[in-house]
Structure 1
Amino acid sequence: MTQIEKYKPFIESLPPGSLSKEQLFVKQLLLHEEQDMSIYYVPYEYVNTSAKVMIIGITPGFTQMEVAIRSAREDLVNGVSYDLIDQRAKKLASFAGSMRKNLIDMLDQIGLPAALGIKSSELLFYELRDLLHTTSAIRYPVFIKGKNYTGHSPVILKSKTLYHYAESIFLPELLAVKDALVIPLGKSVSDVVKHFADKGWIDKERCLFEMPHPSGANGHRKSQFEQNKAQMQQQVITWFS
């Protein structure tokens, strides 16, 4: 269920074109603040319950936040229905930038297109978006001292605030998208999903726990991926068979 109507006056007031941190790190979008941590609203509340693949990041970064808010602004100005605004923003912004290219390459290498009967994983982000649900362990953008939260300081499972967001928002998403192969990206997200699995809330068999985070800042990405690629290829075959 979208909250876009609540934020409509402010988002519509933003100028056209690219948006800066000074324009978006404002009280009108602030959801929570404590010590060095700030959490902001972004129109990411669409859940594709019929998806066959669910890809989970840590939290939207500023790049994703800016693209999503800009998309929502344009849609509000153009009279797009509220029900579609979150869906359209998420399609544009999810893993936007170099991360998406890295992610598509890894998904292709573990055999996801063949398992789904499609030409390339890239299609999941465009023409075949109905097969994909993208989300984050923390749905809304988290920043530490104004910088993108990387999942480590604080650790989600050790932060009362972040864990509350994960259990109250992310877990229901996992349960709602019940037929999807679950792909958490990186250790911090995998740890959250494993925690839910250990509680008996979700099935471990549907989860690829070894997929590295596709960020270019992850210097161990390629070696981690090669180390676990064969195992993930087999998991993909097993799940979709």
Structure 2
Amino acid sequence: MVTAIKNLKIGMSKDLVNLEPLRIKQDGSLSCYYIPFDYITKNAEVVLVGITPGKTQLFNALCSVQNSLEKGLNEEEALRVAKNEGAFSGTLRNNLIKLLDHIGLHEKLGISSTAGIFDKDAHLVHTTSVLKHPVFINGKDYSGSTPNMLKHPLLSEMIDAYLMEEIYQLPKAVYIPLGPKVSQVFEYLIQKGSLEDHQVLFGLPHPSGANAERIAYFLGNKARESLSIKTNPDLLDNAKREILEKLSLNFN
């Protein structure tokens, strides 16, 4: 697949039509494309898990690989760099760093900020998604709602094929699912016995810009009385308390 990426004419439009050589699955309106996120941080202490990479992450990763190959990097190094540059890239990354620093993950890892996990401290954290390769519905980013990841044959197959393989390689790591849809999958994995409950830090708000109010409250930047009815402060307060307790338990 890396050879195919080298020869792609990606352009600036972020049009999936240009990525047909990378399409690996199709089921009606649902399509899935290869992303060069094969690199696994084998000694990672923490695993950050999103729903699935979106177009921003996909195109950033592809451009990263092309740039790395042009510079003469080998395939393994190109994949490592693509992971660092593409994972949770865009506005997601800034919000994610703020949330992780707020819960003190950087202190537990012994670094100045979790911004470093996408650069010099990347050896400490592995980034992935429940659906490792980008999934789109009618060409738009899949949000995790419809179809249900655990019930749709193609999506559940991806979980078994890719996510479970990464868990197998990182059985002792602490996992941080981002958002309720990812949390549902990890609750299922705990029930299956694939992970222990203490390993999973449930409840961190998803770092999407669409989740701005929940993020602001979680960070202490918005008062309870100023929240809309869409945000449940008690739920976020309880989640933060449990996250901090599990962090202390796992990094004592």
Q: TM-score, normalised by structure 2?
A: 0.87
Q: CA RMSD in A?
A: 1.8
1:137 match: 130
Aligned position for 2:220? none
- Alignment identity in percent? 35
Question: Counterpart in 2 of 1:233?
Answer: 244
Q: Does 1:112 align with 2:112?
A: no
Structure 2 unaligned segments of length 5 or more: list them: 216-232
| 2:222 aligned residue | none
Deviations 1:28-68 (A, max 9, x none): 11111111111001111111110011000000000000000
The equivalences for 1:180-199 within 5 A come to 180-199=173-192
1:87 has 2:80 as partner = yes
Corresponding residue for residue 162 of structure 2: 169
Q: Distance in 1 between matches of 2:56 and 2:211?
A: 17
Write the deviation string for residues 111-138 of structure 1: whole angstroms up to 9, x where unpaired. 2122222221111122111101000001
Could you say which residue in structure 2 is the equivalent of 1:101?
A: 94
CA distance in 1, matches of 2:55, 2:19: 13
Distance 2:137 2:18 in 1: 12
The equivalences for 1:194-233 within 5 A come to: 194-218=187-211, 221-222=214-215, 223=233, 225-233=236-244
| Pairing 1:159–2:149 present | no
Which residue in the other structure is 1:13 paired with? 7
Aligned AA (1:12): K
Deviations 1:121-157 (A, max 9, x none): 1111221111010000011010101110010111101
Q: Over residues 164-185 of structure 1, what are the superposed CA-to-partner deviations in whole Å (9 max), with x where a residue is unaligned? A: 0011110110121133210010
**5+ long unaligned stretches in structure 1:** none
8 Å CA contact 1:51, 1:179 repeated in 2: no
Query: Distance between the aligned counterparts of 2:81 and 2:134, measured in 1?
Result: 17
For 1:73, give the aligned amino acid: Q
* Structure 2: distance between partners of 1:131 and 1:225: 26
Counterpart amino acid of residue 249 in structure 2: T
Offset of 1:227 from its aligned partner?
A: 4.6
Q: 1:48 to 1:199 in 2, by over 3 A?
A: same
Local SS of the residue matching 2:154: helix
Query: How many residues are matched?
Result: 234
**Deviation sequence 1:174-226 (CA, Å, 0-9, x none):** 12113321001011111111111101121111001211211011256335544
Comparing 213-222 with 28-37, greater Cα deviation is found at 213-222
3-state SS of 1:182 partner:
strand
Question: 2:246 corresponds to which letter in structure 1?
Answer: Q
Task: Tell me how far apart the structure 1 counterparts of residues 73 and 154 of structure 2 sit (CA, whole Å).
Answer: 33
The 5 Å alignment of 1:34-73 reads 34-73=27-66
**CA separation in 1, counterparts of 2:81 and 2:127?**
12
Runs of 4+ in 1 over 6 A off after TM superposition: none
Counterpart-to-counterpart distance in 2, 1:225 and 1:121? 21
